[in-house]
Amino acid sequence: MNARPDAPLRARRTPRRERGAALLLAMLVVTLVATLAARTLWQRWRAIEVETAERTRAQAEWLLTGAADWARLILREDARSGGADHLGEPWCVPLQESRLSSFVAAGGGDTSGIERDAFLSGAIVDLQGRLNLTNLVEGDRISKTAQAAFTRLYRQLGLPESEVDALAQALLDARRANAAATSTAPLPPERYEDLAWLGLPAARLQQLEPFVTLLPEPTPVNVNTAPPEVLIALSEKLSPSDLPRLLQERASAHFSTTLDPRLGPALLEAGTRGQIAVASRYFQIRIRVRLDALTVEEVLGVRRDGLNVLPLWRTRSGGPSGTEAERALGVPEGAPQNAPE
């Protein structure tokens, strides 16, 4: 008799438990659907970001290629005119960052279809306006003339002069090992950045870069483009007090021959030893493209043989910054992308 009053109570409780279970199941289903939808949307957004980054990178590469061809054309036209290479020529004027559409408009093109802002900057540098490290090794020995010039440059910059001797010996050892095909010896550096192989610290490379280069062959210094520190390093008879006159003479009218009496006795003597020149064959082209969030910089080394401007090496750096596309592509900001010719 006591069970009968409990039966309606259990009957009333059972539907309530079922309704709670159904509500919980519905919430789980909604959560699952929302999670799957969010993941699908995120994957689609990520794919769009990666595609956008790839398209931007491809466009930037086309711009870099076009700018490099343009710079090489400038050097070719300069060679067509002949004569000395000096700081007053068109190739020596750097291009400040400019909107690419302004070039299209200047050429009479239609800019209405250009939707993205692209900015271009660059410069051409005469590498023969610097001391060439290749000059340190002459045949199977260290060149005392070149070694003395580098020592004077180090003295001006306040750097340890003993480093010149160690660097010259390392370059000689690398060349000898390469000739003997010794596998344990360091490879001979082919570019300026490769000097790190010989133990030269990165900070030192940065300090020396405006005054030092590494070219495939020994080269004289172009006195029309060399900075004052390099000019003084050419001869121990040239003092800092001689520089103002020399630079003023060069600014008023470039030196057209190594026999120009305005060079003074010290540089004329260096000319007899083949240390100086008034024309150049080796140049560095530096180009920078900024397209949306992507900034890419390319440094191209070229050699000019007559009207032919041949690429020697290329270094490219940069990439997308702070975007999901960067992480998706696995490209850290500022990572170098070398593309040797």
- Which single residue is written with the structure tokens 């390093």? 233
Q: Which pLDDT score, from 0 to 100, does residue 327 have?
A: 38
- Phi, psi angle pair for 152, to nearest 5°: -65, -35
Q: What's the rounded mean pLDDT across residues 204-209?
A: 93
Closest CA to 265 of 241, 289, 240, 235: 235
Tokens describing residue 203: 């900070």
* Share above pLDDT 90 across residues of the chain, in percent, rounded to a whole number: 50
Domains of the chain listed by start with CATH number: 48-108+116-127+282-321 (3.30.1300.30), 131-206 (no CATH), 220-277 (no CATH)
* Share above pLDDT 70 across residues of the chain, in percent, rounded to a whole number: 82
Q: Which pLDDT score, from 0 to 100, does residue 206 have?
A: 92
Are the beta carbons of 120 and 98 closer than 8 angstroms? yes
Closest CA to 290 of 98, 68, 94: 98
Phi-psi region at 308: left, alpha or beta (left = phi > 0; alpha = psi -120 to 50): beta
Q: Which pLDDT score, from 0 to 100, does residue 40 have?
A: 83
Q: How many whole angstroms separate alpha carbon 13 and alpha carbon 10?
A: 5
Note the pLDDT tens digit of each residue in 124-169: 999 999 999 999 999 889 999 999 999 999 999 999 999 999 999 9
Q: Which pLDDT score, from 0 to 100, does residue 59 have?
A: 83
Please report, for the chain, how many H helices and E strands are present, in that order.
9, 12
Higher-pLDDT residue of 69 and 334 is: 69
Q: What's the rounded mean pLDDT across residues 277-284?
A: 96
Q: Which pLDDT score, from 0 to 100, does residue 5 have?
A: 56
Cα dist. 288→6, 91, 119, 120, 317 in Å?
86, 16, 8, 6, 10
Q: Which pLDDT score, from 0 to 100, does residue 317 have?
A: 83
Q: What's the rounded mean pLDDT across residues 63-85?
A: 92
Note the pLDDT tens digit of each residue in 303-340: 999 999 999 999 888 765 444 333 333 333 333 344 33
Are the beta carbons of 140 and 176 closer than 8 angstroms? yes
Global pTM value: 0.78
Q: Please, what is the Cα angle at 80 between 78 and 81, to 5 degrees? A: 70
User: Which of 7-21, 218-232, 290-304 is modeled with the greatest confidence?
Assistant: 218-232
For 90, other C-beta atoms within 10 Å of its C-beta total 11
Q: Which pLDDT score, from 0 to 100, does residue 333 have?
A: 39
